[in-house]
Structure 1
Amino acid sequence: MNSLYELSNNYIAVQQMIENAEPEELEMLNDTLDAINDSVEVKAENIIKFYFNLKGDADKCKAEAQRLSAKSKALENKAERMKEYLDRELNVMGLDKLKAGTFNLSYRKSKAVEVEDIAVLSDEYKKVAVTADKMAIKRALQDGVEVAGAKLVENRNLNIK
């Protein structure tokens, strides 16, 4: 495996364990890391190297997923255009049914709702999603305004540079 950061020998085994472990097995890796007798600085440095290697791999996976998603969407669009073409041609010919080799084509009737003006619909026919505006709440709390149902909490976030 080509890594951006080279790990010390003690940590290579841990890296392989993590890469091959099931999520429920990851807890035992804490014991393995605890058993490595290095100074806290050396241990932290190697763990951070491994952290950045994992983040890099995750970024590669995300990029590949986006590429595959775009390819999938393009293929779905091509397939839909083929179906639309077939639909248009059958309508031009006035055909409601057609046997084409091993395929049977036919139309079925269905009903769908078309909303012409949502503003005139009564509330019983509308869905409303209510979410908290956390940025506005945070600003209000920082300005000393009391906001019922919310509080400002201070977190400790590990920063790696």
Structure 2
Amino acid sequence: MKLLATYLVGLVFGVGISISGMANPAKVLNFFDIAGAWDPSLIFVMGGALVTTFLGYKLVFGRAAPVFDSAFSLPTARAIDAKLVGGAAVFGIGWGIAGFCPGGSLPALGTGRVEVFLFVAAVVAGLLIARGTTAPFVRRVSA
């Protein structure tokens, strides 16, 4: 049941990304082109996502525990450090250059376009490099 729920959530996300046009990098890049062919529709997509997330958090965290697990798995880090700021900068620069965010690029794989596969490969490579370079400095704590 947990696997089915995960699949359905991913399917809804992918369909939403596709319907909103966010699988089209030109639409995203036009949002950033304020002096040219500016397309403000991304504001409405993000606004809808924020409202949905706000309501979802209120609904989910009103429960004692998740439906398919014994406890919520939430990040505990609260510090705004160089790692967080650097990661956000790399994310933003990559999004502005390529027109894809990592999550939005996954549904776009269905288009079969080579640039989407290259972007996803670059994201995976970046994740592996980050994991490999930070792993020696991370202290694992078992719960």
Bin for the TM-score computed over the shorter chain: under 0.3
Structure number with greater Rg is 1
The higher-RCO structure (CA 8 Å, 6+ apart) is: 2
- Structure with greater strand percent: 1
Give the TM-score normalised by the residue count of structure 2: 0.27
Q: TM-score, normalised by structure 1?
A: 0.25
Higher helix content, 1 or 2: 2
